[in-house]
Chain A
């Protein structure tokens, strides 16, 4: 465990490092571009017009602020602390992903870029990217692993409806990490006109920082909403972590509130002991991939191993570098949740609250029975319901043995 810093909110350093994590590990061709992106991001951050446009789109296009909701029946069922939801699933396009895409497309326009690329796993980030590209009339190419294209046809169709070109990636394991490799190959060949909208708080600096900043609207709203509704900060925050953008977006504004505990939920797939999981912190080691240093699933030679999760959005062998740092510093605890536990929570939330959560968010909800008993009835747990589960009904039906 590293020494406790004075603030958990002043990372990364000027070189993009969160402690030993983060950084800029990219091919030389991309270095001038990401340095340029960093300069432009600093300028945008200091520009009130940029913030005004971002806020305006979040309010009138995304539908923010998202509600803060007291989950009464789930609270009664658990018989302990109050359970509250941050309702990111009510955003336009059905998840938190759009917050980041709005921010990045505004940056792309500011930089004069005329073509957008993105990677996607389940298709949620692809849909959000295609959405903002349609909104601003910018052509976009979405890279998606061929395996994911086959199992996520509705989202592939959505992206194409929105005008995006979806390119199935046939290299490697044909899933999210290969889609990211292919997006990087495209970017390196088209640096002059292309902006890469990365979907999570990972990749080379400044992506982890800027994605976090755009997603921090979640935590900033939630903090004010909790104070207004309950007169107090929550005692515990819970969010699912794949790359970790919804989690860092919720956590970051609370990091310096010492009485607010935080749990990031990693996907344990079939169980950590089976080796078939996507829990980079619990089952991985620090390494370098996709532009940053962070915990990765890898073998003893540093070859990246395949992740597994029932949730395509968590099915990635890495994690955002700030989470690696928060893990090592001890500020946030990370808990693995299996496919089965997530499926149970998916059904419980649907039946008790009338909210069908995304399988990603179901991982966060599945942590509740494990941790709630440590809290009193007058304490409050806030869960980030990061996305809605409509996209997952086919997967869930299959696992429940139901033929649709």
Chain B
């Protein structure tokens, strides 16, 4: 079993948390996520043009650039995380251009060597899989794709083909952090996706509170929380870790104790 598949096989829904690399004291925030009970960590690679992100993560990217964060810094954060936390799965999430700049093989090898388990690339559709997919699969790094409310039945197989690790279901047509989807639409869509794949399905975009997270955890394999955590880093800067810890704890408790509905 890989670290990622183990994280979704604990007998309870998984809490997936996101923070942006290079924003605040990233190492301490990552430790707080682990201590708080996050099952999977997504580490955002900052990009100058984050067109799928709302204001919270846009601002986090700018703060990260203000610290001078480079791709090498992101990889170093990942490698040091892996040394401190040998068992917790770590996923890099970001946009295509920084990932392919030095060639897909370079990036895939760096991911492998840094102990990164998977990669989520927002703007490489399955139609353009050749940009990154073969290199990641060759290096044994999971390529985690996104499905959305607009991904219809005809298209879903293309999205699933070549996906591994888990499937990230984007619950609303929109950007990160803002809107909230109706629970019944999430439930229906997750059930529809799960009929087509054995991959765990984690649901994200617009999930902010433990209550929301618990409600989604009842109908999915995992719940992704990003902007709400990133906002804490924005608000508290280097003093964010205890706040990140507190929210993660509340989220983890809510998600882990959610009673699963039979799919």
Interface positions of A (Cβ within 8 A of B): 15, 23-33, 171-172, 177-178, 180-181, 184-185, 188-192, 287-291, 293, 296, 298, 300-304
Known contacts A28-B147, A190-B173; 11 additional CB pairs below 8 A are: A15-B127, A25-B96, A27-B146, A28-B145, A28-B148, A31-B127, A32-B152, A185-B175, A188-B175, A287-B100, A288-B95
Q: How far is the CA of A190 from the CA of B51 in the complex (A)?
A: 14
The size class of the interface chain B forms with chain A is 35 or more
Contact across chains for B100 and A288 when beta carbons are under 8 A apart:
yes
Contact across chains for B49 and A33 when beta carbons are under 8 A apart:
no
Residues in chain B near residue A30, CB distance under 8 A: 150
Residues in chain A near residue B150, CB distance under 8 A: 28-33, 191
Contact across chains for A28 and B151 when beta carbons are under 8 A apart:
yes
Select the stretch in B26-34, B117-125, B194-202 that faces chain A.
B117-125
- Closest A residue to B72 using CB positions: A301
Q: Which of B47, B48, B98 is the most central at the interface, judged by chain A CB atoms within 10 Å of its CB?
A: B48
**Is residue B67 within 8 Å, beta carbon to beta carbon, of the partner chain?**
no
Contact across chains for A185 and B148 when beta carbons are under 8 A apart:
no
Given A25-B124, A27-B122, also A184-B51 (CB < 8 A): yes
Q: Which of B58, B149, B173 is the most central at the interface, judged by chain A CB atoms within 10 Å of its CB?
A: B173
Contact across chains for A288 and B97 when beta carbons are under 8 A apart:
yes
Cβ 8 A contact of A28, one of B55, B131, B170, B178 = B170
Q: How far is the CA of A27 from the CA of B149 in the complex (A)?
A: 12
**Is residue B174 within 8 Å, beta carbon to beta carbon, of the partner chain?**
yes
30 pairs of residues in contact across A and B, judged by CB atoms under 8 Å:
A15-B127, A25-B128, A26-B123, A27-B148, A29-B174, A31-B125, A31-B150, A31-B155, A32-B152, A32-B155, A171-B58, A172-B49, A178-B49, A181-B49, A181-B50, A181-B51, A188-B173, A189-B175, A189-B179, A191-B150, A192-B173, A287-B101, A288-B95, A288-B123, A289-B97, A300-B101, A301-B98, A302-B97, A302-B101, A303-B97
The smallest beta-carbon distance between A289 and chain B, in angstroms, is 6
Q: How far is the CA of A181 from the CA of B101 in the complex (A)?
A: 20
**Is residue B92 within 8 Å, beta carbon to beta carbon, of the partner chain?**
no
Residues in chain B near residue A25, CB distance under 8 A: 96, 123-125, 128, 131
Q: How far is the CA of A24 from the CA of B62 in the complex (A)?
A: 26
Q: How far is the CA of A385 from the CA of B73 in the complex (A)?
A: 47
Contact across chains for B101 and A28 when beta carbons are under 8 A apart:
no
Chain B, 130-161, contact with A by CB distance < 8 Å: what is the 0/1 string?
01000000000000011111111001000100
Residues in chain A near residue B65, CB distance under 8 A: 303
**Is residue B99 within 8 Å, beta carbon to beta carbon, of the partner chain?**
yes
Q: How far is the CA of A302 from the CA of B71 in the complex (A)?
A: 9
The smallest beta-carbon distance between A91 and chain B, in angstroms, is 31
Chain B, 31-70, contact with A by CB distance < 8 Å: what is the 0/1 string?
0000000000000000111111011001000100100001
- Closest A residue to B151 using CB positions: A28
- Closest B residue to A15 using CB positions: B127
Residues in chain B near residue A29, CB distance under 8 A: 148-150, 170, 173-174
